Amino acid sequence: MQAAATPEMADHPFRGVWDTPFGVPPFERITPEHFRPAFESGLAEQRREIEAIAVNPAEPSFDNTIAALELSGRTLRRVSAVFFNLAGAHTNDAIQAVEREMAPVLAKHRNAIFMNEALFRRVERLYDQRENLGLDAEQRRVLDRYRTIFTRAGAQLGPEGKKRLAEITERLATLGTQFSQNVLADEKDYALVLDGEGDLAGLPGFLRASAAQAAGERGLPGKHVITLSRSSIEPFLQFSSRRDLREQAFRAWTGRGERGGATDNKAIVAEMVALRAERAKLLGFPTFAHFKLSDMMAKTPEAVRQLLDQVWQPARARAEQEAGALQALVREEGGNFELAPWDWRYYAEKLRQREHAFDEAQIKPYLQLDKMIEAAFHTAGRLFGLQFKELHGLPVYHPDVRVFEVQDANGRHVGLFLGDYFGRPSKRSGAWMSSFRIQEKLAGEIRPTIVNVMNFSKGAAGAPTLLSFDDARTLFHEFGHALHGLLSDVTYPLIAGTNVATDFVELPSQLYEHWLSRPEILGRFAVHERTGEPMPKALLDKVLAARNFHQGFATVEYVASALVDMEFHLLPSVDALDVTAFETAALDKIGMPKEIVMRHRTPHFTHVFSGDGYSAGYYSYLWSEVLDADAFKAFDETGDVFDPATAQRLEQFIYAAGYRREPAAAYHAFRGRAPEVEALLEKRGFRAAPAGQPSGEV
């Protein structure tokens, strides 16, 4: 059946089969004008499919209900994947307009599916008979997940409740989009222009080079520009000896989303927190945090609190020692001021140079982007037998995007990996993994197309791009997510790849970071950009020994954000919330050191407010860190960080398993026991490793 087609709908590029290699989207044929009609036909197609399932006169069966649901919405999935990847990685005004328009429409569409009564009755019938349907374990899991999704969407509510819930979700979708567009606008809007040697005081060569590049891109040749992207602002705060400029840049960075005017996010946050609390109540939970956590590995706010408290106390004590040492350094240099947040990174870098006798500028020439990509691939080869071949000439959405074919040890196609590494004004800040196509076997053997997006500062023309150690770790982190998508081996798309609980999804990514720090990897791939010489053993040892430097600061920065996120979402109801005052009060309550600012302040906390993703969920990184530290210990205990038997279990139960099992069960299957928090405290240097045990990965 054809929808009444307008001319542009008839030939939008999302219709029909893509005859591109590996089914990559034909980017060169896609323009922003195609999205609206493509979304419309995708939505119409899925509405017809859903209606057909709901009114099917046949008795509900797994195939005619659950599998049919899984097969519905193909066009919509395809359009959404391309659209949202571009909205994050290469957006423009036209795409942003479609994004604002589509966010509530898509939320409404999803509501209509998961609040469809006839459909829910069929799912309930199947769920009641689940023991007698002859389902295999994966089908049983998919049925359970669908029932959970329906009930969490409010399928069991009466008409009034459903109506209100639908309004709330649509409004939240609109607000979330506005929130992230406002942050992007504040980031795009800001450039600290450095003019002349005085402004550049203290900045090392790599930062001058990338700042010159950024200035060139903004039409300011001969000058230097610092942007609010982490890989520009952080080294600036680390090296600039101009205290006034540090303060200026720091205020702009931590004030994103809070500058008043059209891009201010405070009112948006207040409304989102209120709506989330109301939504939870409608669904029978005391607060949004209770609602959110009930479908996570953590299960309850108490479990999260317990973990955060366990880490907060030692981290805060450590951070205060660190602040004392920095203040002493300020005095020693004749500074007559109290250490401020914009001083921390600068004096910490000096102290690091003194205590560990190296600086970032010394390491950077050894951390070339291309070599680090190779290192991430090599690690995947050692662990999982994967091979990577760069392909040229495939359609890409920006000339900087690189494409690799991934094959297994026998040369079988595993998937496509896209690497989009450099910052640009059309990209939102941060780093992430996403997909253009996820793995499944329901509609034939479909292999995934996965992308990693970074915001590294591009090296000057003709020179290699050099990374900081943090950048390299981000690269390994996102590549761990990519492997979770690439190695996926399930039948049903609902549970494929990274479609797992938020507090479990960081395990594959954070675990992967451990291999970067191994001498086996760094010793081989950290080679000097000019001489090709490996990093000298002494420097390598220093880098590794310095990893616990200022863990107090890093942990406080992070845990403060996680606690504030939790506080907002533990409010049982909300009326005219003063967001800034609430944030300040929450930080006072935990005794936040005055020299440290939250890693993500509320008005630009996109993890929590650009969508539902990490709302009441920022703790997930730490939760997953308990798992990753404990999981890496499984390798350490064998004496071989590439131990084949351990790697095989890791692939089977974690990287390839999608959401086939509850996270606790999946972890248990891999490790042979439940996770223990000790390895995390040792890893962060808050507790000594027991004698005779290998201490982390040094």
Q: Report the 10 Å Cβ neighbour count for 402.
A: 18
Q: Whole-angstrom Cα distance, residue 680 to residue 506?
A: 14
Q: Report the 10 Å Cβ neighbour count for 582.
A: 19
CB-nearest residue to Zn ion: 509
CA distances from 153 to 62, 166, 291, 613 (A): 21, 9, 11, 15
Task: Give min distance, CB of 484 to Zn ion, in A.
Answer: 10
Residue type, 452: N
The count of residues interacting with Zn ion (CB under 5 A) is: 2
The stretch among 55-63, 139-147, 503-511, 635-643 that binds Zn ion (CB under 5 A) is: 503-511
Per-position b or e across 541-580, b if 16+ CB within 10 A of its CB: ebbbebbbbbbbbbbbbbbbbbbbbbbbbbbeebeebebe
Instruction: Give the residue from 359, 357, 348 showing the smallest Cα distance to 321.
Output: 348
Q: Residue 607: what are its φ and ψ, rounded to 5°?
A: -50, -40
Ordered DSSP codes for 535-572: PPHHHHHHHHHGGGTTHHHHHHHHHHHHHHHHHHHT-S
The stretch among 3-11, 54-62, 242-250, 502-510 that binds Zn ion (CB under 5 A) is: 502-510
Geometric angle at alpha carbon 577, from 575 and 582, rounded to 5°: 140
Task: Give min distance, CB of 292 to Zn ion, in A.
Answer: 18
Q: Closest CB to Zn ion among 287 and 435?
A: 435
Q: Closest CB to Zn ion among 485 and 675?
A: 485
Would you say 253 and 600 are in contact if contact means Cβ atoms under 8 Å apart? no
Q: Closest CB to Zn ion among 273 and 505?
A: 505
Task: Give min distance, CB of 658 to Zn ion, in A.
Answer: 16
Task: Give min distance, CB of 509 to Zn ion, in A.
Answer: 4
The correct pick among 65, 429, 509, 606 for binding Zn ion (CB under 5 A) is 509
Which one from 360, 478, 557, 682 is the annotated catalytic residue?
A: 478
Task: Give min distance, CB of 477 to Zn ion, in A.
Answer: 6
Task: Give min distance, CB of 178 to Zn ion, in A.
Answer: 24
Q: Whole-angstrom Cα distance, residue 627 to residue 619?
A: 13
Q: Closest CB to Zn ion among 474 and 602?
A: 474
HSE (CB half, 13 Å, CA atoms) of 131?
A: 1
Task: Give min distance, CB of 433 to Zn ion, in A.
Answer: 7
The stretch among 506-514, 517-525, 543-551, 673-681 that binds Zn ion (CB under 5 A) is: 506-514
Task: Give min distance, CB of 504 to Zn ion, in A.
Answer: 11
Q: Closest CB to Zn ion among 113 and 453?
A: 453
Per the DSSP assignment, residues forming a β-bridge with 449 are: 416, 437
Q: Closest CB to Zn ion among 506 and 583?
A: 506
Task: Give min distance, CB of 596 to Zn ion, in A.
Answer: 22
Spell out, one character per residue from 457 to 496, where the chain touches Zn ion: x when CB under 5 A holds, - when not.
----------------------------------------
Residue type, 77: R
Q: Closest CB to Zn ion among 177 and 498?
A: 498
Ordered DSSP codes for 641-683: TT-HHHHHHHIIIIIS-TTSS-HHHHHHHHHSS---SHHHHHH
Distance of CA 101 to the CA centre of its chain: 24
Active site annotation includes 478: yes
Q: Residue 577: what are its φ and ψ, rounded to 5°?
A: -70, 130
Cβ burial, residue 216 (10 Å; 0-12/13-18/19+)? middle
The stretch among 42-50, 262-270, 508-516, 628-636 that binds Zn ion (CB under 5 A) is: 508-516
The stretch among 130-138, 457-465, 507-515, 628-636 that binds Zn ion (CB under 5 A) is: 507-515
Q: Closest CB to Zn ion among 349 and 506?
A: 506
- DSSP conformational letter for 416: E
The dihedral through the CA atoms of 682, 683, 686, 691 has a sign that is positive
The stretch among 289-297, 500-508, 555-563, 569-577 that binds Zn ion (CB under 5 A) is: 500-508
Would you say 455 and 468 are in contact if contact means Cβ atoms under 8 Å apart? no
Q: Closest CB to Zn ion among 449 and 509?
A: 509
Binding site for Zn ion (CB under 5 A): 506, 509
Catalytic residues, by residue number, are 478
